[in-house]
Chain A
Amino acid sequence: MMDSDEDLVSGCLKKNASSELALYKRFSPKMYGICLRYAGNVMEADEILQVGFIRVFNNLHRFRFEGALEGWIKKIIVNAAISYLTTTHKLQKEVELKDFYMEATIQEDALSNLSEKDLLKIIQSIAPGHRTVFNLYFIEGYEHKEIAQMLGISINTSKTQLLRARHSIMRKIIKEDLLSH
Chain B
Amino acid sequence: MDQHDQLEQKCKAAFNNFEVEPPAPVWDAVNRELHPPRRQFSIWEYLDPTTFFSNRRARLTGVFSTAAVILFFVTVYFLSLDRHIINGHAYTGDRRLVSGTAILFTVQDKCKPWDSVQFYRTVPVDANGYFYFKGVDDGSYLLRIEPGHQPENTDQFIASWFDMHGDPAQSHVIVIDDEDVRTDVHLIRKDHPQTGP
With both beta carbons as reference points, the residue of chain B lying nearest to A115 in the complex is identified as B14
**What is the count of residue pairs linking A and B with beta-carbon distances less than 8 angstroms?**
84
Residues in B with CB closer than 8 Å to A42 are 23
Given contacts A114-B10, A119-B10, A169-B7, contact A29 B21 (CB under 8 A): yes
For the complex, give the distance between the alpha carbons of A132 and B11 in Å.
14
A101 to chain B, nearest CB (A): 13
For the complex, give the distance between the alpha carbons of A106 and B15 in Å.
21
Taking the complex as formed, is A166 at the interface, i.e. its CB lies under 8 A from any CB of chain B? yes
Taking the complex as formed, is A105 at the interface, i.e. its CB lies under 8 A from any CB of chain B? yes
Summarize A's interface: helix, strand, loop or mixed: helix
For the complex, give the distance between the alpha carbons of A21 and B28 in Å.
10
For the complex, give the distance between the alpha carbons of A139 and B7 in Å.
11
Residues in A with CB closer than 8 Å to B22 are 28-29, 31-32, 46, 49
For the complex, give the distance between the alpha carbons of A20 and B127 in Å.
79
Taking the complex as formed, is B178 at the interface, i.e. its CB lies under 8 A from any CB of chain A? no
Residues in B with CB closer than 8 Å to A30 are 17-19
For the complex, give the distance between the alpha carbons of A108 and B26 in Å.
38
Residues 105-147 of A, flagged 1 when their CB comes within 8 A of B and 0 if not, give 1101001101010011001000000000000001100000000
Q: Are A21 and B10 in contact (CB under 8 A)?
A: no
Q: Are A33 and B15 in contact (CB under 8 A)?
A: yes
B20 touches which of A24, A29, A108, A119 (Cβ 8 Å):
A29
Q: Are A139 and B11 in contact (CB under 8 A)?
A: yes
Residues 19-41 of A, flagged 1 when their CB comes within 8 A of B and 0 if not, give 01100100011111100110000
Q: Are B12 and A138 in contact (CB under 8 A)?
A: yes
For the complex, give the distance between the alpha carbons of A120 and B166 in Å.
112
Residues 3-46 of B, flagged 1 when their CB comes within 8 A of A and 0 if not, give 11011101110110111111101110111011100000000000
For the complex, give the distance between the alpha carbons of A33 and B34 in Å.
23
Q: Are B19 and A21 in contact (CB under 8 A)?
A: no
With both beta carbons as reference points, the residue of chain A lying nearest to B13 in the complex is identified as A116
A24 touches which of B7, B14, B27 (Cβ 8 Å):
B27
With both beta carbons as reference points, the residue of chain A lying nearest to B12 in the complex is identified as A139
For the complex, give the distance between the alpha carbons of A57 and B35 in Å.
11
B14 to chain A, nearest CB (A): 5
Residues 80-110 of A, flagged 1 when their CB comes within 8 A of B and 0 if not, give 0000000000000000000000000110100
Residues in B with CB closer than 8 Å to A29 are 19-22
Residues in A with CB closer than 8 Å to B14 are 116, 119-120
Residues in B with CB closer than 8 Å to A57 are 30, 34
With both beta carbons as reference points, the residue of chain B lying nearest to A134 in the complex is identified as B11
A170 touches which of B3, B23, B35 (Cβ 8 Å):
B3
A129 to chain B, nearest CB (A): 17
With both beta carbons as reference points, the residue of chain A lying nearest to B27 in the complex is identified as A24
With both beta carbons as reference points, the residue of chain B lying nearest to A56 in the complex is identified as B30
Question: What are 23 A-to-B residue pairs whose CB atoms are below 8 Å?
Answer: A21-B31, A28-B26, A29-B19, A29-B21, A30-B17, A32-B19, A32-B22, A33-B15, A33-B19, A33-B20, A36-B20, A37-B15, A46-B22, A46-B23, A46-B25, A54-B34, A57-B34, A106-B3, A114-B10, A119-B14, A119-B15, A138-B8, A138-B11
